[in-house]
Amino acid sequence: MAIFYNLPPAKPEYEKTLLGMAWFLINTAERSRREGILSLQADMDTEQAFNDFAGEDFPQKISLYGRNFIRNLFMDICDGVEISDIEKIAFYAIASSQKLGGDEEKLALMMAAEGVHSIYEGANPRVLATKLASMIGEELGTKLMSDFEKRDDENRAEYLRRLEESSEQKEQRAHTAMEVYLSGNFENIVWLDDITVKKIAEENLDFLAQAIAFCDYEIQSKIFRCVSPETKKKLEAELLEMKKPSVECQKKIMDSLYCS
């Protein structure tokens, strides 16, 4: 559900600020999904910590009030504040503030509030990018999604290139799913080609099931489309009974991988 329904128009001259805010939120969402929301807490504790985390690419036109507004929203979600309360805080803080530097900063902070809301819910970075693009008009929104797709393609190509560099393709394919699962980078499995996914399913269905057990529906659906109907039924049955392995179990799995 959206927090704001009446948005200032996104003018072309706002490009640097709005796209800069969008990328800050997308990058933060990716880190949150990879490391967990609480991993952001140390970077939000103080103004200096936030400035270091935001980096030089953070929009320069966002005032100190705006920076503290964003930082406090992140601190709220790290502290476990109810999302409904965060929505109200964001809405009234922007609606009543006299310290904002016009529509440019106001729209950027609306994007930030919507972004924090999505990060709290664990939204896929692509879904977040689409949401932000819808807030900044057709021209800037199209540019944001074009840049996002380009970066996604580059990341996918780099990931596949690293796989191809391995001289032990069979072993790499057999181990990829569990290594992805154990590393916590669940989304990486969606970058694998159909042949590799089928190969993993043939050689070790348990590994594949554990790799996607905690992925979102979009990634699981992609994997299901790659395998045969019979394998899909087995995989679904595995997922129904799947429980996250204990630390001891993970260690045994890793020992077996590297001793084989």
Separation of alpha carbons 167 and 171, rounded Å: 9
111: in domain: yes
127: in domain: yes
Number of domains in the chain: 2
The arithmetic mean of pLDDT across residues 28-55, rounded, is: 88
Is 244 found in the same domain as 186? yes
Is 142 found in the same domain as 63? yes
Location of structure tokens 């969606």:
190
The average confidence (pLDDT) of the chain is: 80
- Between residues 170 and 154, which one has the greater pLDDT? 154
Report the pLDDT value the prediction gives residue 182, as an integer from 0 to 100. 43
Give the least confident one: 69-83, 96-110, 161-175.
161-175
Identify whether the C-beta of residue 18 lies closer than 8 Å to the C-beta of residue 111. yes
Is 91 found in the same domain as 43? yes
Pick from 83, 142, 141: nearest CA to 114: 83
Separation of alpha carbons 139 and 152, rounded Å: 20
CA angle 214, 220, 222 (to 5 degrees): 150
Identify whether the C-beta of residue 32 lies closer than 8 Å to the C-beta of residue 184. no
7: in domain: no
pLDDT at 233 over 80: yes
CA atoms within 13 A on the CB side of 20: 18
Structural domain that includes position 67: 12-152
Give the least confident one: 15-29, 76-90, 139-153, 154-168.
154-168
Location of structure tokens 């990716």:
30
Separation of alpha carbons 177 and 179, rounded Å: 6
Write down the pTM of the prediction. 0.61
- Phi–psi pair at 84, nearest 5 degrees: -65, -35
Report the pLDDT value the prediction gives residue 181, as an integer from 0 to 100. 45
